[in-house]
Amino acid sequence: MKKLKQIPKFKSEDQEAEFWATHDSTDYFDISKAVINPSFPNLKPSTKTITIRVTQSLLDALKMIANKKDVPYQSLVKIFLDEKVKEEFRSQVKHAP
């Protein structure tokens, strides 16, 4: 078994990314001890800010619904988008050849 190298301390994510882009991880980790199907229950997906244009009437309707549900309207939009995308994927799977 080869001796594993010590992982250096990094000052930033960019510095760490550069390091791993130029080094072989097998010099630093014993792959035979890897966890199969790890669980990350508290990991939140990274988000990306976007801008969309909607009619004033649609925005007003979204705000009214959000107010009734006691959630911010931006959160409601994300919920609606997520539900619709999942619905579309389920529909595509049903109709796949």
pLDDT at 97 over 70: no
Residue 71 confidence (pLDDT) above 80: yes
User: In which band, very low, low, confident or very high, does the pLDDT at 54 lie, cut at 50, 70 and 90?
Assistant: very high
* Residue 17 in this model has a pLDDT that exceeds 70: yes
Mean per-residue pLDDT for 17-37?
A: 90
The answer to whether residues 34 and 60 touch, using CB atoms and an 8 Å cutoff, is no
Domains belonging to the chain, first-starting first, are 1-35 (no CATH), 45-97 (1.10.1220)
pTM over 0.95? The answer is no
